[in-house]
Amino acid sequence: MKPNHSPSQPIGIFDSGIGGLTVAHAIVTHLPKENLIYFGDTAHLPYGDKSTAAIQAYAVKIAHMLLQQECKLILIACNSASAAAYDLVKEYVGSKAIVMNVIDPVIQRLKVNYRTKRIGLIGTKQTISSHIYKKKIDNLNAGITLTSHVTNLLASAIEEFGDHPIIDALLKEYLNQPELHDIDALVLGCTHYPIIKDRIAKLYAPSVEIIDSSDIVGQAVKKQLEKNRLLNEGGQSTKRFYLSDYTESFANNAKLFFNETIQLEHYPLWD
Ligand code: DGL
């Protein structure tokens, strides 16, 4: 167990915007009694286009804020930030909290269930050009072939429109790339993409599995808390949602994820 932690301390989750809500929702499903703090860095959306150094600076500052809120676990609920800043955030946080990313749980799932398969990957410029999935998959020595394509405009379009038919045109263009043909499964390498999972699935044969990391990560967080004896077993759970810039689209989309009314608070982290 981590020193001085108690199960009632919150789980801190962050992303550039609404994408991490797909993961937050899965965590609530698997761990309904946990207290959550969500930080959407809407002031810097999209992360996918930013330099590695910029994303690292954002991520460390957000991690610092989540530590001040006494989070027992910090989840980087963004592939771009997981690719660019996980090692740095882990080092910064040290033993003050458990730090998790959204990539490693998916790699573990591929190792167990997708040996020798042909896997397609879509994600932001930052995630794909980091080659982090490729490196981790190659290290598995599981005979998995990975091909990928940058689908850069998708996260911003989802942030703006949510699950809207206008996105179909972008998807047709992106998913028609040769790298994404002849695959057994497609990894949604951006936490925004589960919002449009059904649209993506429609463009593939039913035999192509769409791998949505949100549920996989929700299960991994539960396992990690169990392992550290930090599962919150009693009491009323609370959820707090902070935004670095208040946006109408975040407010509207956030409502779709949780039945209860969500109170969004502007947290001027960059002022
Ligand atoms: N949802 C994020 C990801 O998983 C970030 C998307 C963006 O802000 O570009 O990569």
Q: Could you report the per-residue pLDDT of 37-50, keeping only the tens digit for each?
A: 999 999 999 999 99
**CA atoms of 95 and 170, how far apart (whole Å):** 43
Regarding whether 110 and 141 lie in a shared domain, the answer is yes
- What's the confidence (pLDDT) of residue 1? 46
Catalytic residue status for 78: yes
Report residue 271's pLDDT band, with 50, 70 and 90 as the boundaries. confident
Gap from CA of 103 to ligand 1 centroid (Å): 12
Q: Which pair of structure tokens corresponds to residue 145?
A: 């072939």
Range of the domain at 201: 104-214
The answer for residues whose C-beta is within 8 angstroms of residue 138's C-beta and 6 or more apart is none
Choosing from 193, 214, 235, the residue where a domain stops is 214
Regarding whether 27 and 94 lie in a shared domain, the answer is yes
CATH number of the domain bearing residue 160: 3.40.50.1860
Regarding whether 205 and 181 lie in a shared domain, the answer is yes
Report residue 259's pLDDT band, with 50, 70 and 90 as the boundaries. low
Question: What is the number of other CB atoms lying within 10 angstroms of the CB of residue 172?
Answer: 11
Kindly report, residue by residue over 101-129, the tens digit of the pLDDT: 999 999 999 999 999 999 999 999 999 99
Considering only CA atoms, which of 26, 88, 93, 27 is closest in space to residue 66? 93
- Check 190, 200, 211, 217 and give the catalytic one: 190
Q: Which pair of structure tokens corresponds to residue 94?
A: 């040290």
Catalytic residue status for 190: yes
Q: How many angstroms from the chain centroid is the CA of residue 203? A: 23
Q: What is the pTM of this model?
A: 0.96
Is there a domain that residue 4 lies in? Answer: no
Question: What is the number of other CB atoms lying within 10 angstroms of the CB of residue 4?
Answer: 10
What integer is the mean pLDDT of 178-183? 97
pLDDT at 143 over 90: yes
Is there a domain that residue 271 lies in? Answer: no
Provide the b/e sequence for 182-202 (b: ≥16 CB within 10 Å): ebebbbbbbbbbbbbbebbee
Regarding whether 119 and 97 lie in a shared domain, the answer is no
Regarding whether 244 and 121 lie in a shared domain, the answer is no
Choice among 48-57, 110-119, 135-144, 234-243 with the minimum mean pLDDT: 234-243
- 169 versus 236: the higher-pLDDT residue is 169
Answer yes or no: is the C-beta of 40 below 6 A from any ligand 1 atom.
Answer: no
Answer yes or no: is the C-beta of 59 below 6 A from any ligand 1 atom.
Answer: no
The three-point CA angle 2-7-11 to 5° equals: 85
Is there a domain that residue 29 lies in? Answer: yes
Share of the chain above pLDDT 70, in %: 98
Answer yes or no: is the C-beta of 149 below 6 A from any ligand 1 atom.
Answer: no
Name the pairing type of β-strands 98-101 and 145-150: unpaired
- What's the confidence (pLDDT) of residue 260? 67
Q: Which pair of structure tokens corresponds to residue 217?
A: 């990560």
Domain count, the chain: 2
CA-based R_g, the chain, Å: 18
Is there a domain that residue 53 lies in? Answer: yes
